[in-house]
Amino acid sequence: MDVDAAVFDVFGTLTDWRSSVTEALSDVGGRAGLYADWPTVVDTWRRRYRPALKKVLGGELSWRPLDALHRLTLDEALAEHGLDDLGEAERDALVQAWHRLRPWPDAPPGLELLHRTSVVTATLSNGGVGLLARLTKQAGLRFDCLLSAELARSYKPDPRVYRMAADLLGVEPQRLLMVACHPDDLEAAAKAGLRTAYIPRPEWGPAAGRVDPPAVVDLVVDDVIDLAHALGAPGDTRP
């Protein structure tokens, strides 16, 4: 595939948010003397994410940074699970847990391979610029550039976010590849004129069912290393 740049979803596609945030929540909750089925609380928290985005994109909520949206949905999730006793400082700490997520094992070496090709790599995430800078640095995810929906004061899947990425990188949309594990992200990118690559990820845990790729997609790859090879990285470099 011949493209000038590739932009990546981060939560789910490159990082295992579920195990990382579960660890933070069980730690913070445990120290507060609370007990719950923490993975389920995290799933509830994450499930409240897309409806919250929709409210922002629909104008029902004003735009705010992802951290503020995470705080709103955390409060809802804790209430739903009877965990109202968790304090303010603990809630703020949990929002910060999304700044320190574990990468899927193939993501760091795959991005290093891509960095050595001529393809410019960037994030294109609903996470803010500061979150992305800390997360990618700590997780060893090497990018040539960080782009966030924050720069358009919007959220994916708003088409303006994908067009902004092409504009800022100075590439034609049809020479820009969106990489994600979420069919709706890729469908919106394709509608904005981008090419698309799907990576399946067990983001909801090992027991959850496999997500099918979107009906129309330019490329399906196993992981980021596989993607790097498809975009021109030498083929004999899988660690």
List the Cα angle 148/153/155 in 5-degree steps: 65
Q: Which is nearer to its own copies, 120 or 194 (CB)?
A: 120
The residue from 137, 153, 191, 238 that contacts its own copies (CB under 8 A) is 137
The residue from 36, 68, 145, 230 that contacts its own copies (CB under 8 A) is 145
Helix locations, the chain, DSSP H: 17-31, 38-47, 49-57, 66-80, 88-96, 107-115, 129-139, 159-169, 183-191, 224-230
Closest distance of CB 225 from its own copies, Å: 20
Please, what is the end-to-end C-alpha distance for the chain in angstroms? 23
175/2 Cα distance (integer angstroms): 7
Segment near its own copies (CB under 8 A), from 14-22, 72-80, 134-142, 173-181? 134-142
CB–CB of 197/218 below 8 Å? yes
User: Does residue number 150 form part of the binding site for its own copies (CB under 8 A)?
Assistant: yes
Segment near its own copies (CB under 8 A), from 10-18, 54-62, 81-89, 168-176? 168-176
| CA-to-CA dists, residue 232 to 19, 123, 131, 167, angstroms | 32, 19, 30, 24
User: Does residue number 93 form part of the binding site for its own copies (CB under 8 A)?
Assistant: no
Segment near its own copies (CB under 8 A), from 127-135, 192-200, 215-223, 228-236? 127-135
Write out the residues near its own copies by the rule CB under 8 A: 5, 115, 120, 122, 128-134, 136-137, 144-147, 150-151, 168-171
